[in-house]
Amino acid sequence: MTNKILVTVIVPMIEEEYDIYIPVSKNIKIATNLIVKAINELSEGHFPIKQNSTLISRNGNVYAKNYTVKESGIKNGDKIILI
């Protein structure tokens, strides 16, 4: 699976973590929307679908929404935060 990477998404709002595959060629905005939908399903609706969700690194850097996942530097096995 070279077109997707496995990341751990930390979701402080519901105090959960999820391992999710994301496509490296999609921009962060689209990847964020995909992650939000997946977490909404995995959490059985406890995490609401929102259009303004943001991905940040564990050191607090916000990922630019117009960069692709690959360009943003997110790698297989990284932990990212969804707010």
Q: pTM for the complete prediction?
A: 0.91
Q: What are phi and psi of 34, to 5 degrees?
A: -65, -40
pLDDT at 55: 97
- The strand order across the sheet containing 4-11 reads 16-23, 4-11, 79-82, 55-57
pLDDT, greater one: 27 or 2: 27
- CATH class of residue range 4-82: alpha beta
**Can you give the residue ranges of every domain in the chain?**
4-82
Which residues have a Cβ under 8 Å from the Cβ of 73 and sit 6 or more positions away?
Answer: none
Which residues have a Cβ under 8 Å from the Cβ of 30 and sit 6 or more positions away?
Answer: none
pLDDT at 1: 47
The whole-angstrom separation of Cα 25 and Cα 22 is: 9
For 9-68, what is each residue's pLDDT tens digit?
A: 999 999 999 999 999 999 999 999 999 999 999 999 999 998 899 999 999 999 999 999
Token readout for 58 is 């564990």
